[in-house]
Every structure is written in C-alpha cells, then in structure tokens.
Amino acid sequence: MSKVSKFLSNKSIAFQIWIVFSAMMLFIIGILVTISLLTFKNFLYDKAYELIENSQKNVITNMVDGENYTQFSGTISENNNGERILKSIIYPIADTENIEHILSDEKSSKELWNKVLNQYQNQTSDSQRYTYVKNNDNVFYVIRKYSFDDKSGFVFSYTRDLQAEKLYRQIARKIILMTIIASFFSLIIVRKLASYLSKPIKSLKENVEKIGQKEWNTPISVDRKDEIGELSEAIESMRQQLVKNDEAQQWMLQNISHELKTPVMVIRSYAQSVGDGIFPKGDLSSTMFVIDSEAERLEKRIKDLLYLTKLDYLLQHKRIEELVNMKELIEETVDRFRFRREELNWELELENIIILGDYEQWKVVVENILENSIRYSRSKVRISVKASGDSILLEIYNDGESIEESALNELFKPFKKGKKGKFGLGLAIAKRIIESYDGHIWVTNENVGVSFKIELKK
C-alpha cells in the first residue's frame, strides 16, 4: 500500500484523481455485475429446478394411480426457452441398464448413481436439489422420496440439457460486453472530471509561482465555493499581505534613507568646512559639538533600526522567560534618565509587581517611552505601576502639550515624527514588544499633559 501511495504521490493531481476514481468505479461495477450475474443465474436455476420438480410430481402421480409401476420413465417438457429433456428413474429399479446412460459413459454413470444412492441415504428432507459436474458433463437432478402401499424408495429426476445454463452464458456475455463498453466511456468521463478538478489547482500553482517571483500585482480569483475556492481565498489573502509587506518595506527603506541622510550630510559638510579652516558655528569647539551631536543621533537611529529588524526573530525564536521586577526596572531606568533634564520633577508610584518575560525587552520598552516623555515634558513626569483586577497597568505621564486626536493612533507607526522632528521608531519598537506579550499600549490626552498606558494580563 505504501508503494502505491508513493507512486501516486509522484504523479499529477489529475492522474491521481483519474486512477482513484477509475479504480473505485471499476470495483463497484465489478461487484454490481457479479451480484447481478449470480442473482440471474440463481433465478434461472430455480426456474429450471421447478420444471424438474413439476415433472417429478407427474411421475409420482402416475405411480400412485397406476396398477403397474414403471421403473423407468422418460418425459419431455417444453417452455419458452426451447426444449428440455427431463428423465426420471424410480428406485428400486428392476434393470440397471436404466442407469448406464445417465452420462456419456457407463463408468461415469455408475459413479454418479452410487453418489445418488449415498445422498438418498443421508437426505433428511423429502425432496432435495443437487448438481453434478465432471469434465464436460453437467447434471442437474432432484431426489424425491416416496412411500405408499408398503413400497418406499425415491424418484431420481434429472436433465443434462439445461437451457438455463445456455441462456445464462448468453446473457452473461452480453452483460460483460456492455460493462466493458460502459467502463470505457466512464473512464473517459472520469478523465474529463479529473482535468476539470485539477484545472483550478494548476491555475493556483501558476499564481503561487508568480508570487514566489514577486509578480504579485494580479489578484487571484477562482469562482468556486468548495475547498479549492477556500484555498484560492487563502492564497489571495497571502498575496495581499505580501503586497502590503513589500510596500511597507519599500516605505521603510525610503524613510531609513531619509533619516540617515540628514545627519550624514551635516557631519560631512561640517567636517569639510573644518578641513578648509571654516567653522560654521563660529569656533572649532561649537562646530565639533554639532558634529558629535549628529554622530550620536546617527548612532541612535542605526541602533534602533538594527533592533527593529532583529526584533521579530528575537520574539519568535529566542524568547527568554524570567522574573522581571517592574518596580526595580523602572527605578533603575529613571536613575539613568534624570541627568538628561535635571529640572524635571519625577513622581513614582510603583507597586512591587513581578512579571514573566525578557528583562532586556522590557527595559527597551520603558526607555523608549520615557525618552519620548522627557522630550516633551514641561516640568513633571509621573510613573505608576499597579495591579487592577486580572491586569497590570503601567502609566507614564508627562505634562507636555496635548497630541492632536488624529495623530494619537499614528504615534506607534515607524518614522512618524513629533513636533520636535524626532522620528517615532522607539514607540514602534515598544508597541511590538508589548503586543508580543498579549499586552496593549495606547496614549490619551489628560486635562494637562499626555499619558502612555500599558495593560498586561497577570
């Protein structure tokens, strides 16, 4: 069976469908033809045996009514199928010559007669049907016991010229011939059906190959409601997603080029000016400070870009599960951020909450949101962590300017710039990490200021 499966798996879908359907169809046809022939044969034989039994009853009637018992009686019966020669032998017999011509030779006849005598001794019913087949001789006979007037024995009625056998063979040949013809045309129909079923699969295969070559601008449409139609819809959904991903990739490359080009141009132009003895900022120290600031800005963007590109892999393949104390993580991060704007007032409302996750990833989340908050804060940053029912809520507030409602949902998209021209790759990274933990992040405008809120399941 495994060899057959392996053989079929190396063939086309159309061929597999054709072979399987054909095998099933031929198997079913074979069973139906066999059952039909056997049923028809039994019907014909039953009718033939009924003729023998009716003839036998006439012999018994003559024996009862007659004064002299005839030991051998030959009768001829006719029906619509032609002539049948029926003979009867009454046992006990006076002359064994009567049994010598049952079959074509005397030896076979005596052998059959001995078998009949044995069957008579073992027969429990009054009448029983038998068949004897040897070489080219086919004998169909009935043994009927009798007992009257102190006499007992049996009547052996038989025929060698059974028209039922001839009729059966004729009809069987016709049925088999018709079956072969029907099977031939059925195989052609199944072939057409296999091609019909495999045609959309071939079309999908060609479309998938085009997608593999990035030729994915043509929609995939198969007007079917079955499993093939569902497969087509799934492939079309995949195509649309690939197109979106490709567009997003192109968009990201354009933005990366733009974001990296600006600091590189500033650094290069300032460096060339210094080389020519010109100081754009008035003196060497101020000019070098600008170069250093742009280099730092460039380094930060490159790090964020590298982290963003490897983040998907880290989230899927190198997930680290460890106990992370959010209170300690936030306190450590705040200590490192205080010096950036020493005039800010920091308020911490931190419960001792521990989550399961990657410490470094959550450190990136807190750093990126804090960096955004201190950039726009006027005088205060407030951070709170608390448990609320089945959730953990982390809130980072700053008292900066409110965000336009239309821009609230755009903040977490890569390369979205704020009012100070800083692009929002850090928030995009934070959002992706949080969502990988089945969390949710959003931003809301308060009466005064803005709050970033993160909700996690315990």
pLDDT of 9: 60
pLDDT of 74: 44
In a domain, 101, yes or no: yes
What's the whole-number mean pLDDT along residues 13-42?
A: 81
Do 367 and 444 belong together in one domain? yes
In a domain, 445, yes or no: yes
The Cα–Cα gap between 214 and 275 comes to 47
Do 370 and 396 belong together in one domain? yes
- The DSSP H or E segment spanning 9 is helix 2-9
pLDDT of 416: 64
Phi, psi of 309 (to 5 degrees): -70, -30
The Cα–Cα gap between 51 and 79 comes to 9
Do 292 and 152 belong together in one domain? no
pLDDT of 100: 67
- The DSSP H or E segment spanning 277 is none
Do 332 and 312 belong together in one domain? no
How many domains is the chain partitioned into structurally?
3
pLDDT digits (tens, 9 = 90+) for 331-343: 999 999 988 888 9
pLDDT of 348: 93
The Cα–Cα gap between 190 and 170 comes to 30
Beta bridge partners of residue 130, listed in sequence order: 141
Do 385 and 329 belong together in one domain? yes
What's the whole-number mean pLDDT along residues 375-385?
A: 92
Do 154 and 128 belong together in one domain? yes
User: Residue 327 to residues 83, 278, 342, 395: CA-CA distances in angstroms?
Assistant: 111, 51, 21, 12
Half-sphere exposure of 100 (CA within 13 A, CB side): 4
pLDDT of 107: 78
Output the DSSP codes for 407-448: GGGGTTSTT-B-TTS-B-HHHHHHHHHHHHTT-EEEEEE-SS
Comparing C-alpha atoms, which of 404, 427, 405 is closest to residue 414? 427
pLDDT of 1: 53
pLDDT at 78 over 50: no
Domain boundary among 215, 240, 266: 215
Do 8 and 101 belong together in one domain? yes
pLDDT of 5: 64
Do 287 and 381 belong together in one domain? no
User: pTM value?
Assistant: 0.51
The Cα–Cα gap between 183 and 87 comes to 44
CB atoms near residue 286 (< 10 Å): 11
CA of residue 80 relative to chain centroid, distance: 60
User: 327: pLDDT confidence band, cut at 50, 70 and 90?
Assistant: very high
Beta bridge partners of residue 384, listed in sequence order: 349, 395
Least confident of 41-50, 373-382, 443-452: 41-50
Do 2 and 31 belong together in one domain? yes
Note the maximum CA span of the chain: 158
What's the whole-number mean pLDDT along residues 316-342?
A: 86
CA of residue 3 relative to chain centroid, distance: 22
In a domain, 231, yes or no: no
In a domain, 233, yes or no: no
Domain boundary among 166, 197, 215: 215
Domain boundary among 172, 198, 215: 215
Do 440 and 359 belong together in one domain? yes
pLDDT at 382 over 90: yes
In a domain, 239, yes or no: no
The CATH number of residue 374's host domain is 3.30.565.10
Do 143 and 7 belong together in one domain? yes
Comparing C-alpha atoms, which of 321, 450, 330 is closest to residue 397? 450
Least confident of 217-226, 251-260, 440-449: 251-260
**Which residue would you say has higher pLDDT here, 374 or 1?**
374
What's the whole-number mean pLDDT along residues 265-287?
A: 84
Phi, psi of 162 (to 5 degrees): -90, 110
In a domain, 225, yes or no: no
Residue type present at position 183: S
Render the burial of 93-107: b for 16+ CB within 10 Å, e for the rest: eeeeebbeebbeeee
Do 281 and 410 belong together in one domain? no
In a domain, 226, yes or no: no
Range of the domain at 390: 322-457
Mean pLDDT of the chain: 80
The Cα–Cα gap between 179 and 434 comes to 69
In a domain, 209, yes or no: yes
The CATH number of residue 272's host domain is 1.10.287.130
User: 370: pLDDT confidence band, cut at 50, 70 and 90?
Assistant: very high
